[in-house]
Structure 1
Amino acid sequence: MQPLRAIALKVISVVVFFAMATLIKLTSDRIPPGEAVFFRSAFSIPVIVVWLVWLGEWPRGLKTSMPMGHVWRGVIGTTSMALNFTALGLLSLPEATIIGYAAPILTVVLAAMFLGEEIRAFRISAVILGLCGVIIVMAPRLTLGGDEVGLREALGATVAFGGALFAALAQVQVRRLVATEHTAAIVFWFLTTAALLSLLTLPWGWAMPGPGLFALLVLTGLLGGTGQILLTASYRYADMSVIAPFEYASILLALVVGWLVFAEVPTLPMLVGAAIVILAGFIILWRERRLGLDRARATQGVGGQVAAPVLSPADAGRPAQDRR
C-alpha cells in the first residue's frame, strides 16, 4: 500500500474532473447538453484506448459476457450525465456540485432495494442526514411561481437531483457488472454508448462551435478520460476508505471557483447544506471503516486471513460488500 500516492492521484483526479465540469458550465450558454455529452464521451475514448494499449489490455480488456448490462449502464449513465450538464447551465456551480452529492447517499438506499444489501439504523440515519443537507441547498430554489429566473432555478434544482438519482442507479448497475466484467470494459463501453446515444439529440439542434469553442469541448473529453485513469490508478495504492474522503474537495473547489470565475457568492443554505452532506458522507465512511476492521479481526481469529475492507458507497467501480 502507498496511501500518499493514492491520495495524490485521487486529489488530482478530483481537480481534473472539476475542471471538466467548469468547462461544461462555461460553454453551457452556447452548447446544448446533448452535444456536450457527445464531446465529453467521444473524446474520452482515445485517452482510454491509449491507456489500455499502454497496459497491454487492448483489445482483450474489452471482452464482455454481459452486453445488455453495459447497454443499461450506458442508458442510465448517459441520462445522468445529460441531466448534470443541464443543471450546470441552470444553477450556480456550488449548488449543482452539492446536489450531485446526493448520488452516493441514494446509492445506499438503491443498493438495499435492488442488490439486497443490508442497511441498518446507523447508515439509515446518515442517509437521512445527507438528504437533509441536499434539501437545504435545494429549498431556496424550489419556489412555486415567481419570475423566469426563479422558475429556471427551480428546474435546475430538480434536474440536478434527477441527475444524482440516475447516477446512483448507474452505480448500482456497475456493482452488478464488476462481478464478471473488467474495469476497462465498463469504462470503454459506457463512453461508446454515451457518445452514440447523444446523437439522438441532433434533431433538437446542435450548435456549430467555432475553433475556440471546439477546442474547449474536445478538452472536456480529454479531461474526462484522464480523470478516469487517475481515479482508477488511485485504487491500486490504498483502500477506498482512505481515499474516498478526498472526493469532497470538489465542494471546496466549487465554492471558490464559483465565486472567483462566475461571481457566484456562496449563500448560507449552500454552506450549511454542504457541511451536512460532507458530515453524512464521513459518518458513512467511518462506519464502513469500522465494519471492515471488525471483519478483519473476526477473520484473523477464525482462519488467520484478513478480510477485504468495506468500500465507500460512493465507489461505483468496485464490488459491493455486505453493508450496514
Structure 2
Amino acid sequence: MRAAFTPNPPALPVLAPVLAVVAGIAAFSVMDAAMKAASLVLGVGTALLLRNLFGTLLTIPLWLAKGRPTPTRKVALFHFQRSCVTSVMAALFFYGLVRIPMAEGMAISFFAPIIALYFAALLLGETIRPRAIFAALLGLVGMVVIGADRFGAGQYGAEAVKGTAAIVLSAVFYALNLVMQRKQALLAGPVEIALFQNLNVTVLFALFAPFYWTMPDAASLAWTLLGAVLATIALLFLSWGYARAEAQVLVPVEYTGFLWATLMGWMVFGERPGLGIVAGAALIVTGCWIGTRPAQNNT
C-alpha cells in the first residue's frame, strides 16, 4: 500500500521554501522566453506538446531513482484535473504572449492571485473580505492602465487585443491552478508531480495534434528542449516550496517574475516596457499585497 507523502515538519525555516519558489519562478520566466521563441515558429500547440514530451522523458529517470512513487486512484485523478487546468492556462498564456510583449503579459497575469482569493472562497469556504474586493478593483485599474499605455501609443491592433484577452482568461485558470497547487503539494512529492503533470499534458495535447502539428526544425527543437528543462526544474522547486509553506506566504513571490520577464523580453526579443506597463504592474501587485496581507500577518 502506498504511503502518504509527508512534507518536512513545519519547523523548517520559511526562508528555504521562499527561496525555492523564487528559483522556480525564475526558471518559469526564462522558460516563457524559450517557449515564446518556439511558439513564434511552430505555433503554440506544437511547442507545448514538444515541451511536455521532453519534460516527461527528463523526469522518468528521476521518478525511477525515487523508487517509482505511484499515486492512488484519488491522487492520480487530482493530478489529471490539475493537468487539464494547466493545459488550458498554458495554451491561452502563450497564445497571448506571442502577440504582446513579455513584461506586459506577465503584468496582466499578476491579476491571478487576486482571483485566487475568490476561488479560495468558492472551493475552500473562506469568507471574502472587503480588502479582497478593494484588491480586485485595484488590480482591474492596473490592467486598464496597461491597456491605456499601449492604446495611447497606437499599438493596440486586433492581434494585441486577442493576446491581452487570452492572458486575462489565462489568469483565471492560473488562479485556480494556484489553489490546486498547494493541495497537490501536500498529496505527492515533487518528482511525482512533475512526471504526471508532464505526462498528462502531453497526452492532452497529443489528442488534438492532427489539427495543429507543425514539423519542427533544429532551432525550434532546441527552444522546446530548453523550455522542458526549465519547466521541470521550476515544477520541482515550486512543488517542494509549496509543500513547506502556506500558499498565501508564497503567492507574493510570483511578482518577481515581472523582473525576469522584462529582462528576457529585452534580451531575447528587444522589448522595452513603457512607464504605463510598470505603473499598471505596480497597481496590480499592490492590490495582491493588500488582498493577501491579513493571512500573511497571521502566518
In structure 2, the CA distance between the partners of 1:116 and 1:285, relative to structure 1 (3 Å rule), is: closer
1:125 aligns with 2:134: yes
Residue identity matched to 2:47: A
Q: How big is each residue's C-alpha offset from its partner over 1:42-77, in whole Å with a ceiling of 9 and x where there is no partner? A: 2222343344444x35233x3332554443322222
Q: Secondary structure at the match of 2:95?
A: helix
Residue type of the alignment partner of 1:227 = A
SS of the residue 1:58 aligns to: coil
**1:58 maps onto 2:88 in alignment:** no
What residue number does 1:82 align with?
Answer: 91
**What is aligned with 1:35?**
46
Query: How much has 1:113 moved relative to structure 2?
Result: 2.5
Is the Cα–Cα contact under 8 Å of residues 90 and 153 in structure 1 kept in the other structure?
Answer: yes
Q: Residue 39 of structure 1 contacts residue 220 of structure 1 at CA under 8 Å; is this kept in 2?
A: no
Separation in structure 2 between the aligned mates of residue 238 and residue 199 of structure 1, nearest angstrom: 35
Of stretches 278-287 and 25-34 in structure 1, the one that deviates more from structure 2 is 278-287
Structure 1 length-normalised TM: 0.77
Distance 2:81 2:50 in 1: 21
The structure richer in helix per residue is 2
Over residues 274-321 of structure 1, what are the superposed CA-to-partner deviations in whole Å (9 max), with x where a residue is unaligned?
Answer: 1111212222342212233xxxxxxxxxxxxxxxxxxxxxxxxxxxxx
Match of 2:27 in 1: 16
Tell me if structure 2 keeps the 8 A contact 1:91–1:156: yes
| Native 8 Å contact 2:185 2:243 kept in 1 | no
Q: 1:71 to 1:283 in 2, by over 3 A?
A: same
In structure 1, C-alpha distance between the alignment counterparts of 2:108 and 2:20, rounded to whole Å? 24
Higher-RCO chain (CA-CA 8 Å, sequence separation at least 6): 2
CA distance 1:263–1:219, change in 2 (3 Å): closer
What is the number of equivalent residue pairs in this alignment? 286
Asked if the contact 1:142–1:157 (Cα under 8 Å) also holds between the matched residues in 2, the reply is no
Deviates more, 1:99-108 or 1:260-269: 260-269
- Tell me which moved more, 1-10 or 252-261: 1-10
Match in the other structure for 1:115 = 124
The structure whose Rg is larger is 1
The percent identity for this pair of structures is 27
Shift of 1:210: 1.9
CA distance in 1, matches of 2:109, 2:224: 22
Q: 1:10 to 1:175 in 2, by over 3 A?
A: closer
Separation in structure 2 between the aligned mates of residue 95 and residue 262 of structure 1, nearest angstrom: 13
- Indicate conservation of the 8 Å contact 2:189/2:240, yes or no: no
